[in-house]
Structure 1
């Protein structure tokens, strides 16, 4: 298996010229801790995480060194800290030194990179452009499919998954950025979050109508839109 077999293709991102406020709202609304920063050409410009927003003037947490310590810190570093604490745009606070992985890289390379750098997710690129993101959770989902004792079928798992993802990407009702599917020997595992039970049913129908799918395991989590209450999926509570 390689990265394209397990990655999440629809990436939540912001642009370098988006405001810090826009980035914060997106993270809160999507319940995520970080965002890729992608320019208008689709190229990865950086990443912004919750950690980049801890030292902010608005909440009184800007780095405030004693006068004697300021003598030991270069003016360049102090200026950079000021920009990070007061900058209004994503480009002012984002981290630009970002590790990536190619879309056709083997999963072993992904695991090695994550372990070596102690990171949880990697942007996936093709010809320098962002085409997805792969996380530890995606790898665990692939693992579940591999260890399950299922008799092999004649289907091509990669083609089946591509067909499912393409179908969902064409549906206006489908939650494109919060749903992922893995396929192993015709068994489809559906992962992610939904905000209403009609989405669950529609996703299930779309998957089960895909040629080559023999069994479906629903791991979707329902998030009540008004209270944020998380309700476990049917398969996980059975």
Structure 2
């Protein structure tokens, strides 16, 4: 019997991450400098604590008053309740999660530690490999 392909087979393992204590303006610069729309937020030992997205960063403008830009830490603005998946999840179940949610990527967490990230594009690559 053929083994079902799992998330670990297609996920990105080298990730750019943010610290929850980082100044939010540094976090925004980090996203812009690296040309990414969001990044996982982890502790020093890679415990996943949230995600900072472009949408989260826009809250600075929404919270500002009288042309004053708000400040704070990444933890103050990040999304804390993040859907995560294990690396041994089969890609078919993972595809179902993407179909039910608006996320473009999902953090992969094993034993509370961030081990990777899988995107919709990664799953497209899996489909392409299966049909070739």
- Under a length normalisation based on structure 2, what TM-score does the superposition of the two structures give? 0.87
Q: Do 2:25 and 2:71's aligned partners in 1 also have CA atoms closer than 8 Å?
A: no
Name the residue aligned to 1:127.
Answer: 111
Look up the match of 1:11. 15
Whether 2:48 is the aligned partner of 1:21: answer no
1:179-218 CA distance string (max 9 Å, x none): xxxxxxxxxxxxxxxxxxxxxxxxxxxxxxxxxxxxxxxx
Task: Provide the aligned length of Structure 1 versus Structure 2.
Answer: 125
Which residue matches 2:100? 116
Greater relative CO, 1 or 2 (CA 8 Å, sep 6+): 2
Q: Give structure 1 stretches of 5+ with no counterpart.
A: 65-84, 149-238
Report 1:47-58 matches (<5 A). Answer: 47-57=51-61
Structure 2 runs not aligned, ≥5 long: none
Runs of 4+ in 1 over 4 A off after TM superposition: none
RMSD (Å) for aligned C-alpha atoms: 1.6
Following superposition, the deviation at residue 41 of structure 1 comes to 2.2
Maintained 8 Å contact 1:87/1:93:
no
Tell me the distance in 2 between the aligned counterparts of 1:93 and 1:55: 7
Residue number in structure 1 paired with 2:35: 31
Alignment of 1:1-238 (within 5 A): 1-57=5-61, 61-62=62-63, 86-148=70-132
The CA distance in 2 between the partners of 1:131 and 1:2, in whole Å, is: 14
Distance in 2, matches of 1:25 and 1:118, equals 25
Give secondary structure in 1 for the equivalent of 2:59. coil
Q: Measure how far apart 1:10 and its partner are.
A: 0.6
Q: How far off its partner does 1:63 sit?
A: 6.3
Q: Is contact 1:3–1:106 with CA below 8 Å preserved after alignment?
A: yes
TM-superposed deviation, 1:93: 0.5
